[in-house]
Amino acid sequence: MSAGAMLEVRGISIAFGGLKAVQDFSLSIPRGGLYGLIGPNGAGKTTCFNLLTGVYTPNVGSIAVDGVDVTGLPPHQIAVAGLSRTFQNIRLFGQLSVLDNVLLGLHLRGRHSLASTLLRTGFHVSQERAMAALAMRLLETFGLANRAEEQGKNLPYGDQRRLEIARALATEPKVLLLDEPAAGMNPQEKKALRELIQRVRREFGVTILLIEHDMGVVMNICERITVLNFGQTIASGTPDEVQNDPKVIEAYLGTE
Amino acid sequence: MSKLFEETRSLKAPVWGVIPRAAWPLVVAIAIGALVYFGVSPLVGGFVSKVMLIVGINIVLAVSLNIVNGYTGQFSMGHAGFMAVGGYVAAGIVYYGSIKLWGSAEPAGGILSIVQEGPKAGPLWGKGDFLFVISCLIGGLVAAGAGYVVGLPSLRLRGDYLAIVTLGFGEIVRVILQGSHDQIQPWKAADAAAMPVYELAWKLGGPKGFNLVPTYTTLFWVYFWAALTCIAAYRLKSSSSGRAFLSIREDEVAAQAMGVDLTKYKVRAFVFSSFFAGVAGGLYALDIGAISAGDLNFIKSFDIIIMVVLGGLGSISGAVLAAVILSILPEALRQPPSLVPWGWVAIAVIALVMGAVLPKGKKLKPIIVLVGTAALWEGLRFLATSVHVNLPDYRMIIYAILLIVLMIVRPQGLFGVRELWDLKVFKRRGGGA
């Protein structure tokens, strides 16, 4: 319950019919923190993300970003409040160019009235140019600038993951939620991803919450980790504490 | 303060002035309208001019429907309904407006809006032209209002479900309009002139249709609006709003996560699209001087959908091309003209241009298809004339077969999501106005 928490989640729960997908989930991440959320398959990690980003509305509990309550807001308003995410199964705008994907991330910080669009007012043109410049800069940071004109779906897998992160960062988030960014990557790519996440945190100063299946990635870079199983928080603490928690070991390896 | 805001403020305002940028579409639209009306029309004669007029109205319809079906990926089947709304409003304003203002339902336009063959003479602009222009605009605005109403349920629905809602809307419009009261005939103009406007507003002819409306639509106005529609659709597509439309089509969940307000943009697409459908309805009604809700049923909607799908969902140039082809084809099949010699010259030129423009390795197939189609056409014609088959009897069958073949050969439509100007040769770097 720290006062200056960037993301403050208090006791959110959701049930789908009789299935209690997430129960009494709480989390508090300080400004600039890098926290992890782990758990076996079906533990409710992605459901948690969907609750945080407004895809689902929690039955009880509250969510605040930088002190602003966003509980129950629709997804686009939560994005405006400063919560941005990537998806477990990549959700790029496949037929749009790489540049357009990032430009859509910039969309919510601009003003786009129908009249100024149709009349091409000076403001509209300046804004479009500013968007293009910012998007190109972002693509350069991620080493994607030379592929700006390609369709999103034609990028190799690793680039698609990076583009998703770039797109999420274009929204100028306060909190970045990464949903299994290392899924389907080989050890080298995972190492590069770890470095990328740390660089993003350093250069963009965002607070990061990471869902990960791969223990290696989370244990190395996260400051604190929350472990979910069957929708319930079974452990929370530093990587060392969590690693040695008998309940976590049980959840991952099963009992004898 | 957001980075985008800072960046925008740090940029100098664009050198090119605000007024020219806002106004050039109007200038271009007037130029295109004038070129077609004064330049092309007298050369090609009455019948071809009439076909061109249908082509132009269909361009407006296809390009506007493309905004809903192509850009945002919502499947609307009610475009004819919006057209009917606009058409009836425009026809009502012009008919009863003329009676109220100058006591008779005779056309009172200048040469821009009086249909006449051959060289044009007389005053450029008549008193009726104001009424006509305003009626089309109001027709479009009322249709846009209807688009807003239909756009609202589309927030919760997508795919087949939305298609059914829009289909229902089209039918409701048709049935309501067919339930309107009898029209006050032109020879009772004095009665109409004495009646208050709100009573006249519902005397739209009912099942008999709304007839004897003064005609104003000429090639000038049709191509003026066609150009304006295309430019507006282009400006929309190549802007942030347009990207938001496209993102909804690509992935609604991701679009929302990027802060795109689905409600706002879906409704915006419907409103924008139905405005131009309403204008097209006005042009249509004031071309033939009559409008009947029975003609603007879901079959008309399907005709427009076919154009959009054939051209490639999301492509403006595709929608235009498909509107041209599909409007000409049924007419051309009435009296199949021979391609010798000028048709072949044109095809050779198009093939050469394609050879120069298309990327390497992708040249052969389109050119073969083009030449093959032309050869098939000629062969069919030869066959028909030699065994005395009356081709026009089979024209709708041939039309349907052509559609099937095109969809098998190019399921993504003629252009896919791409545009004519996306081809490598036209590609310029950087953004522009």
pLDDT in tens, B38-92: 888 888 888 889 999 999 999 999 999 999 999 998 889 999 999 999 999 999 9
pLDDT at A220: 83
d(Cα B429, Cα B433) in Å, to the nearest integer? 13
Percent of chain B with pLDDT over 90: 38
pLDDT at B426: 54
Could you give phi then psi for residue B141, rounded to 5 degrees?
-65, -40
Residues 6+ apart with CB under 8 A from B145: none
Could you give phi then psi for residue A59, rounded to 5 degrees?
-65, -40
Query: Is residue B115's pLDDT more than 70?
Result: no
Q: Which residues of chain A make contact with B275, given a CB cutoff of 8 A?
A: none
Query: Is residue B28's pLDDT more than 90?
Result: yes
pLDDT at B13: 63
Cβ B22–A121 below 8 Å, yes or no? yes
Query: Is residue A139's pLDDT more than 80?
Result: yes
Query: Is residue A1's pLDDT more than 70?
Result: no
Q: Is B166 left (phi over 0), alpha (psi -120 to 50) or beta?
A: alpha
Residue-averaged pLDDT of chain B: 85
CA A197 to chain centre: 11
pLDDT band at B22 (very low <50, low <70, confident <90, very high): confident
pLDDT band at A2 (very low <50, low <70, confident <90, very high): very low
Identify the H or E element spanning B347. Answer: helix B342-357
Residue of B1, B2, B3, B4 to mutate when probing chain A, most A C-beta within 10 A:
B4
Query: Is residue B117's pLDDT more than 80?
Result: no
Most confident segment among A47-56, B272-281, B362-371, B406-415: B272-281
Cβ A103–B240 below 8 Å, yes or no? yes
Asked: is A5-92+171-253 a CATH 3.40.50.300 domain? The reply is yes
Query: Is residue B280's pLDDT more than 90?
Result: yes
Nearest Cα of chain B lies from the Cα of A118 at a distance, in angstroms, of: 6
pLDDT at B118: 56
pLDDT at B333: 76
Interface membership of A174 toward B (CB under 8 Å): no
CB nearest A134 (choices: B7, B12, B243): B7
Domain ranges of chain A: 5-92+171-253, 93-154
pLDDT band at B119 (very low <50, low <70, confident <90, very high): low
Cβ A108–B259 below 8 Å, yes or no? yes
d(Cα B245, Cα A108) in Å, to the nearest integer? 14
Question: 3-class SS at A185?
Answer: coil
Cβ A96–B244 below 8 Å, yes or no? no
Higher pLDDT, B271 or A217: B271
Query: Is residue B154's pLDDT more than 90?
Result: no
pLDDT at B224: 95
Q: Pairing mode, if any, of strands A224-229 and A232-237?
A: antiparallel
Q: Which residues of chain B make contact with A127, given a CB cutoff of 8 A?
A: 4, 8, 240
d(Cα B94, Cα A235) in Å, to the nearest integer? 75
pLDDT band at B432 (very low <50, low <70, confident <90, very high): very low
Residue of A47, A107, A111, A167 to mutate when probing chain B, most B C-beta within 10 A:
A107
pLDDT at B44: 84
d(Cα B124, Cα B92) in Å, to the nearest integer? 24
Q: Give the strands of the sheet with A207-211, arranged side by side.
A: A68-69, A60-65, A5-16, A19-30, A232-237, A224-229, A34-38, A207-211, A175-179, A83-85
Residues 6+ apart with CB under 8 A from B41: B49, B52, B219
Nearest Cα of chain B lies from the Cα of A153 at a distance, in angstroms, of: 11
Find residue A87's DSSP bridge partners.
Answer: none
Q: Which residues of chain B make contact with A122, given a CB cutoff of 8 A?
A: 13-14, 18
pLDDT, one tens digit per residue, over A178-198 is: 998 888 888 888 888 889 999
Most confident segment among A146-155, A213-222, B335-344: A146-155
Q: List C-alpha distances in Å: A2 to A29, A177, B188, B272.
A: 9, 20, 82, 48
pLDDT at B120: 64
